[in-house]
Structure 1
């Protein structure tokens, strides 16, 4: 297993700087996901950890050893790529054992490692096939198996599921999660898919424009986002954002979206938001907190503020339905029970669960 420390890491291509002095640590046995939109620098960071890109500034430390100048083969890593990177002329058996063969591992040990890996991944019947005879999901299992067979200190995954269809992505995501729970190997996983990040990660590093926006557990980023970017990137459908003001109403604090109703801030949030009364804010609430269902009567009494909305579009999803509506000039999305899904053009009463509300500073986007 490995511990990884990234210290003030910079990367420049000529005059273009793509990574801006980032710092984070990966604990022994931890599964960390680097997530962010295209161009945020996540794959570049992974490739610097792997030794496939040079470091412009800062240090990459693996098990207390600075590896900036070490060749990839000297870092004891295994990498799984987006395009599988299997040798087309080799069988699955030969692909699985290739890394061990390059390290002059005895033949009997290679055979045992291949057998064990094939059994874990349930690909024993594929061992004599060539990559062109495999489906996309099977190829990705072989690529992962090749990494497992080597038993490296550190696993690196560069968007390994992006070439698979939706069903296979779910299956392989579960497979990767199961493998990590079995081996507890230190892993760094790059993706732009927030669902993969939320379901796989012990901790997430959220990136934008080569800078870290927030590091934390999936629950941290979902429930307490550091800023509007993280709040909007994590969660599907994305959080609703409305320009608003904080005002007082007697002894209460209310948030007033532009063109919308006055919504009473629950007492649990009043002290936190009190210093911002009279100021413009961005009001954020997730679709699942604009709903016709709840599970806690006390929550309903304190924080479930009634809200009547017009139904512009309804998208049935089976277990629930997404309702598209408007507050003022802003479109919002609500998640309601499929049983109570209304018809387009009708009005329905929902409850805004303001114990899960978020407020952001309009200029900086930072959470208040």
Structure 2
């Protein structure tokens, strides 16, 4: 028996929006159709997700002028070229300022769809319908949109909040195991940043999460989203606290870029990156080895990678880390921790210490 649908709230004044989490939400047309304000809609999805779920969305768009734009699957397709194609699709649709873009897919689809919506007529509505665990717990909430450039990930983008997030956990049934585990890395990240009791809960429920027990998965999603929603409400455009949500990302994005977005999934990069951040924190005498071991055990229990892929050059990884958006005045600014649940922003990190960690892990 599936748990009841949960509704959370991202409180941003006039731009506040609901996050619905539960079973059967894609078919709950009355719920999400009510968030559409105009008569035009563009559904952006990909060639893997659309055959599975686009017909359900089509049924809910009856009576509207709508069309779809499909990406090929994968991080490599989150590009300006595809944003241009999405904007062409909006133009061919005749989309007006009250049109809506619907993002049906994972984080790549959500990021590109949101950025396209932010660009069309300087900003139209969009709705997130995440179909991966990673997108449900992270990228669909908070309004970060963007695309990758050859020199680095997410270096072009905009803050553009959705009208609503529809997280139908039934879509996780078709998610490959590797993609599902990658999403669990983002769940762990939220607990590691600022919620030690949640981290302990994840340790206690690791087997149920690995088995995709619906009630346990929904509870994990809701707890992670609630945590992130609170952070976003306090710091929407990442001027302070929200930067903490990037724990592991400076390392992780470098790993993804070095692998040309084909070696590691985003969540896998975050998993390795979090462990590297924990080891660097330990090296800098900020945290204890016990916390690093707890992180390592939980990542391994949930089947996530914990080492740098073979063949990656530490010097190249460090060069990529220098391009991170959090850096300032030419020095590394990383998210590290004082232990589980106590992350903090650390500026002026010595590159020699980072290189030592990268070299040990290579």
TM-score range, shorter chain: 0.3 to 0.5
Q: Which has the larger radius of gyration?
A: 1
- TM-score, normalisation: structure 1: 0.33
| The structure with more strand, counted as a fraction of residues | 1
